[in-house]
Amino acid sequence: MGIFEAILLTVITAATPLVLAAVGELVTERAGVLNLGVEGMMVMGAACAFIATQVTGSPYLGILAGIASGALFSLLFGFLTLTLVANQVATGLALTILGLGVSGMIGEAYVGQSGIKLPQIVFPVLSDIPFLGPLVFKQDLIFYLSIAVVVGVNWFLFRSRAGLKLRSVGDSHASAHALGINVIRMRYLAVMFGGACAGLAGAQLSLVYTPQWVENMSAGRGWIALALVVFASWRPWRVVAGGYLFGAVSISQLHAQAFGIGVPSQFLSALPYLATIVVLILISHNRRTTLINTPASLGKPFVPDR
């Protein structure tokens, strides 16, 4: 395998959690809910997936645990913002703070243990295609899932009736309510889907990216995923493009060091965060396009009239 392929492989590994978490959040935001707790759900997913894998010995049960923990954890957010109409920004922050705390506590006993890496699933014949084969057909389950989720979400949002309903809830909850759509239930489901995706993204971190548990191991990826949704102007395929771009930026530090480029490591570590800021500036300085793309009810609470 050439050096170029090796680099691309690490880019894919770094991009997968970003793509997953961002696509989940995209669905949540398309339903009009801004969940800033992605980081918290992701780190919970990472911790629960790792612990479940260590206890049961099966990384596949670990994946399930990651998904379940993310979805359950997001229910907390849903209950506060949807049932109790609490402020979404503040509640999202609370979810992140609580997630970092709880994951640190339950994961403490597992710090330093070496985990079980999720095995690769090799497609016969296809994986022998030069260049493309090892990149796309010799990956772990979570990578395939990430692609499936993007395809599925794209189909759901723009080709299915339920997706149309979900988008209408996000664009005008009052009209959707008048049409008889259960706004709150739709939003609960969207929030849980976002949580499940963030949990799966976390599972990727602790089962594939670095198969171990480190406190705060999500390291801001949840926030970068939030920025990706804006970058992608709420469209699933653009999330993939953005995710891979960010994946490339975030692994540049490893390769820069390997090539002996004399820049302090801290500056390279700061690159993904700086890149996020630059991207946000580029995407949002045109006020009109931002307005057109943003779900019109994003972040606004809904209390049905009785």
Distance between CA 39 and CA 188 in Å, rounded? Answer: 19
Strand spans (E) along 33-76: none
Give yes or no for residue 256 binding another protein (CB under 8 A). Answer: no
Instruction: Retrieve residue 283's tokens.
Output: 């995407």
Give yes or no for residue 161 binding another protein (CB under 8 A). Answer: no
* Spatial CB neighbours of 240, under 8 Å, sequence gap ≥ 6: 19, 150
**Residue number with CB closer to another protein (136 or 298):** 298
Give yes or no for residue 194 binding another protein (CB under 8 A). Answer: no
Inter-CA distances, 265 with 6, 36, 232, 260, 272, Å: 21, 29, 29, 11, 13
CA 2 to chain centre: 30
**Residue number with CB closer to another protein (58 or 293):** 293
CB of 1 to another protein, least distance (A): 32
**Residue number with CB closer to another protein (104 or 163):** 104
* Spatial CB neighbours of 169, under 8 Å, sequence gap ≥ 6: 31, 32, 176, 181, 183, 186, 187, 297
* Spatial CB neighbours of 244, under 8 Å, sequence gap ≥ 6: 11, 12, 15, 19
* AA identity, residue 15: A
Stretch that binds another protein, among 53-61, 65-73, 154-162, 268-276 (CB under 8 A): 268-276
* Spatial CB neighbours of 132, under 8 Å, sequence gap ≥ 6: none
Give yes or no for residue 104 binding another protein (CB under 8 A). Answer: yes
Out of 122, 129, 132, 280, the only residue in the binding site for another protein (CB under 8 A) is 280
Contact assessment for residue 150 and residue 19, using Cβ atoms and an 8 Å cutoff: yes
Stretch that binds another protein, among 50-58, 90-98, 190-198, 203-211 (CB under 8 A): 90-98
Give yes or no for residue 266 binding another protein (CB under 8 A). Answer: yes
Letters for 196-215 (x = contact with another protein by CB under 8 A, - = none) are: -------------------x
Out of 160, 257, 269, 293, the only residue in the binding site for another protein (CB under 8 A) is 269
Give yes or no for residue 86 binding another protein (CB under 8 A). Answer: yes
Give yes or no for residue 263 binding another protein (CB under 8 A). Answer: no
Which residue in this structure is represented by tokens 């991207």?
279
**Residue numbers at the binding site for another protein (CB under 8 A):** 36, 76, 80, 83-87, 89-91, 93-94, 97-102, 104-105, 108, 215, 220, 223, 226-227, 230, 264, 266-267, 269-270, 273-274, 276-277, 280-281, 284-285, 287, 290, 303, 306
